[in-house]
């Protein structure tokens, strides 16, 4: 059975982390298979949205594989952290919009994989957490940085220093996920949201997601300048003409997918 399963339907690719017996923990092999999957998908012009979810009843991803990490040397730990961090940069930089459908535990590396997605939706039973301090290590796949940017330093410190998981409801309240759905409705709701995204202008989506990510690391003046540039570049795209013509002609746009 493959560690990562990819299924494409209606322009939506669903990547399932498929190690339910270990609560989908991230071994080196899983991370390598995941990178391979997103490298293939990023070039697939038939895919507009990428959904990440976990196999089994209990977990999205319960973290990096603790058994695999236990005996790492510092040099191996640096290589492992780099593999995870690079995978998440690649995920963030995909032109397609990514959605984490958090169906259960999203702990440690699992919470970090979700946070590298553009949108996070959670089942009501899901738990989010950065419990690494309980294992004697800090978060290693960008958690100290992405969580702080998403929820602010106080709530991030609470999660990262105390290491206690929070409920999906609390995650929504602090801005760690966009919405919570009953567990049995999560995938249907996420597919409906993905279906809405598929209808939007492709360059507009890619530029909007990149502007939000890149802008967060810039001062406001530079970020606004970047926005101006992207806005102008869109006017060289046939899809800007098509989107506006469709509005004026009261019809649905017929996007060009390149």
Stretch that binds ligand DAK, among 3-11, 134-142, 223-231, 243-251 (CB under 6 A): 134-142
Output the smallest distance, CB 27 to ligand DAK, in A. 8
Shortest distance (Å) from residue 52 CB to ligand DAK: 16
CB 20 within 8 A of CB 55: yes
Kindly tell me which residue out of 54, 109, 201, 243 binds ligand DAK, with binding defined by CB under 6 A. Answer: 109
Task: Report the residue number whose CB is nearest to ligand DAK.
Answer: 140
Q: Any contact of residue 105 with ligand DAK (CB under 6 A)?
A: yes
Burial class, 251, CB count within 10 angstroms (exposed 0-12 / middle 13-18 / buried 19+): exposed
Is 172 noted as a catalytic residue in this protein? no
**Alpha carbon distance 81, 79 (integer Å):** 5
What is the smallest separation between the CB atom of 21 and ligand DAK, expressed in angstroms?
6
Q: Residues 89, 10, 100, 253: is their CA dihedral positive or negative?
A: positive
Is 83 one of the catalytic residues?
no
How far is it, in rounded angstroms, from Cα 23 to Cα 230?
A: 41
- One of 34, 113, 121, 141 touching ligand DAK (CB under 6 A): 141
CA-to-CA separations, 160 to 153, 192, 226, in angstroms, rounded: 10, 33, 32
Place of tokens 């990562």: 4
Q: Is 234 exposed, middle or buried (0-12, 13-18, 19+ CB in 10 A)?
A: middle
Contact code string over 10-29 relative to ligand DAK, x by CB under 6 A: ------------xx-x----
Count of residues binding ligand DAK (CB under 6 A)? 25
* d(C-alpha 12, C-alpha 48), whole Å: 6
| Selected catalytic residue, list 92, 112, 172, 203 | 112
For residue 107, which of 150, 159, 50, 179 has the smallest C-alpha distance?
159
CA 128 to CA 165: how far, in whole Å?
Answer: 5
Which of 36, 90, 132, 229 is catalytic? The answer is 132
Residue whose CB is less far from ligand DAK, 143 or 243: 143
Site for ligand DAK in 193-252 (CB under 6 A): none
Binding mask 69-98 for ligand DAK (x = CB under 6 A): --------x--xx--x--------------
Q: Are 120 and 144 in contact (CB under 8 A)?
A: no
User: In this chain, which of 13, 123, 139, 205 binds ligand DAK, going by CB under 6 A?
Assistant: 139
Placement of tokens 């990149």 in the chain: 210
- Interface region with ligand DAK, contact rule CB under 6 A, candidates 36-44, 130-138, 186-194, 199-207: 130-138
The binding site for ligand DAK (CB under 6 A) comprises: 22-23, 25, 58, 62-67, 77, 80-81, 84, 105, 107-109, 131-132, 135, 137, 139-141
- Residues with a known catalytic role: 112, 132
């Amino acid at each position: 059975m493959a560690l990562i399963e990819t299924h494409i339907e209606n322009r939506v690719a669903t990547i399932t982390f498929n190690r339910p017996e270990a609560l989908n923990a991230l071994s080196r092999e899983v991370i390598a298979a995941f990178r391979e999957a997103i490298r293939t998908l990023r070039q697939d012009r038939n895919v507009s949205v990428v959904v990440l979810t976990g196999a089994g009843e209990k977990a999205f991803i319960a973290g990096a594989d603790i058994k695999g990490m236990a005996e790492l040397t510092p040099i191996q730990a640096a290589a492992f952290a780099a593999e995870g961090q690079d995978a998440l940069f690649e995920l963030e930089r995909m032109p397609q919009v990514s959605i984490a459908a958090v169906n259960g535990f999203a702990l440690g590396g699992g919470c970090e994989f979700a946070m590298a997605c553009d949108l996070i939706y959670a089942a009501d039973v899901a738990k989010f957490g950065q419990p690494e301090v309980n294992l004697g290590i800090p978060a290693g796949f960008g958690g100290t940085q992405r969580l702080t940017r998403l929820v602010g330093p106080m709530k991030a410190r609470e999660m990262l220093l105390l290491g206690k998981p929070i409920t999906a409801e609390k995650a929504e309240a602090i801005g760690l996920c966009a919405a919570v759905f009953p567990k049995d409705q999560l995938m249907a709701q996420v597919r409906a949201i993905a279906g809405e995204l598929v209808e939007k202008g492709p360059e507009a989506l890619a530029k909007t997601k990149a502007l939000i990510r890149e802008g967060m690391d810039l001062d406001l003046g530079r970020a606004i300048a970047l926005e101006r540039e992207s806005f102008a570049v869109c006017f060289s795209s046939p899809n800007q003409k098509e989107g506006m013509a469709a509005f004026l002609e009261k019809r649905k746009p017929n996007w060009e997918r390149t």
